[in-house]
Amino acid sequence: MNRIQLTAYTISVSFFLVTLISCEDASTNQKQMVRTGAEMLIENHLDELEGKRVGLVMNPTSRIGETHMLDTLMARGVNVQALYAPEHGFRGEAGAGEKIEDGVDQQTGLPVFSLYGSTRKPTAEMLSHVDLLLFDMQDVGARFYTYIATLGLVMEAASESGIPVWVLDRPNPLGGNYVSGWILEEEFESFVGPYPIPITHGLTMGEMAQMIVGEEWMQFESTPDLNVIEMDGWQREMIWPETGLEWVAPSPNLATFEQAYLYPGTVFFEGTSMSEGRGTDEPFLILGDPETELPADTIRALNEISDQLQINSLTFTPRSIPGVAATPKHMDLESFGVQVEVLGFDFDPVRTGLEIFRVLLKATPEAEVNNFLYNLAGSGDIDRVLSGEVSPQEINFETESFMELRKPYLIYN
């Protein structure tokens, strides 16, 4: 073999090896790519919707790729007759806590019934338009995120009207094995705490639906006709970046997964007079108050909490952002606080967030807490954390009973 032939041979072998490695990498990535229940519906179940009047309980996360499920279904001839809007609206036009009004979807002309206004449970009149409901929303895996409350009320109303509910499943962004925080005590039950579950529960929406039915957490007249359209490729240990799916904000103030990951711990600022960052570009990662400028030792203490976080002092001014935060706390007031940068995800967001909460609240003597804090925590035991009686990293949340209770309802390995 001469030099030219040897060179050609070397190039050919190198190209073959690079191609082989690329194919293996592509295969690995493809195996990791999760296909949502919405995708599986389109692929395997559209024929089952023929001849039915279909209602959609959805929001902006209800999409395949860049296309909303409403548009996808109508393009395939599905007889969609009514839309039902949870908190933030069907297409995401409302900020947190803003009431949703009944109306008409401007793109399709279909009626939109509000499930986050004077009515949170669909009425028999609302459901008279449909024979079947498709429920498809991306949850964040936290008890106080209102979509699981809406899920229970929808199933309760549907059971009363004899209408099946299909839940198109999506990943729990925090992973299916992450369970943390106090189990809700009955006295703190509310729309942000509808079931006796920990702060983070590790369930998908499909699994949550099955548990709500199985544990009879709603007042069902008869057992709901529930069908979970399962995902393909999701495994319990996966957190969001491992799913291969694009992050679509499940609400206007959780624009990134980093915000959503820390949210179960920094949401506690909502139960105080301090800012949780609404009205800024990074809610739940920007925290503070207009009264107190934080000393350097507080910043040092915060940075000792976790090597997965970088926490820097920050001066910020909350502003009105229509459709995101119309009237945030301390609007137009210069505030002093911190900006949290998430460097990695190898930490417990509930425990870590509680420690950040404790340190900042202690460093801000003018700050006040209110009753909403206990609705979020689901337990008065949070007072022991704030007093310093117990460390957030050491407190026993006693989630073992819940972990056993949820086992029959788990769909994925």
Give the pLDDT confidence score for residue 107 in this predicted structure: 87
CATH (domain of 331): 3.90.1150.140
* Residues 171 and 222 both lie in one domain: yes
In a domain, residue 15? The reply is no
Largest CA distance in the chain: 86
Tell me if residue 232 falls in helix, strand or coil. strand
The per-residue DSSP string of 17-72 comes to HHHHHHHHHHHHHHHH--B-HHHHHHHHTGGGGTT--EEEEE-TT-EETTEEHHHH
Q: Are strands 226-229 and 165-168 parallel, antiparallel or unpaired?
A: parallel
In a domain, residue 18? The reply is no
* Residues 217 and 78 both lie in one domain: yes
In a domain, residue 251? The reply is no
Give the pLDDT confidence score for residue 108 in this predicted structure: 92
In a domain, residue 24? The reply is no
Give the pLDDT confidence score for residue 184 in this predicted structure: 98
* Residues 98 and 216 both lie in one domain: yes
* Residues 188 and 320 both lie in one domain: no
How far apart, in whole angstroms, are the C-alpha atoms of residue 399 and residue 368?
29
pTM of the predicted model over 0.75: yes
Give the pLDDT confidence score for residue 1 in this predicted structure: 54
In a domain, residue 70? The reply is yes
* Residues 70 and 145 both lie in one domain: yes
* Residues 87 and 212 both lie in one domain: yes
Give the pLDDT confidence score for residue 102 in this predicted structure: 87
How far apart, in whole angstroms, are the C-alpha atoms of residue 305 and residue 355?
7
CATH (domain of 125): 3.40.50.12170
How far apart, in whole angstroms, are the C-alpha atoms of residue 17 and residue 5?
18
E strand or H helix that includes residue 359: helix 349-362
Q: How many domains does the chain have?
A: 2
How far apart, in whole angstroms, are the C-alpha atoms of residue 176 and residue 138?
14
Q: What is the DSSP letter of 248?
A: -
Q: Residue 200 is part of which domain span? A: 37-241+404-409
In a domain, residue 6? The reply is no
In a domain, residue 389? The reply is no
Provide the edge-to-edge strand list for the sheet that holds 309-316. 286-289, 335-342, 309-316
Give the pLDDT confidence score for residue 328 in this predicted structure: 97
* Residues 223 and 291 both lie in one domain: no
* Residues 223 and 338 both lie in one domain: no
* Residues 356 and 268 both lie in one domain: yes
In a domain, residue 118? The reply is yes
* Residues 61 and 200 both lie in one domain: yes
Over the chain (413 residues), the average pLDDT of each successive run of 10 is 44 40 41 86 98 97 96 97 91 63 89 93 97 98 97 98 98 98 98 98 98 97 96 98 96 96 98 98 98 96 98 98 93 98 98 98 96 98 96 96 98 97
Give the pLDDT confidence score for residue 66 in this predicted structure: 94
Residue 361 has φ and ψ, to the nearest 5°, of: -65, -40
* Residues 283 and 230 both lie in one domain: no
* Residues 59 and 190 both lie in one domain: yes
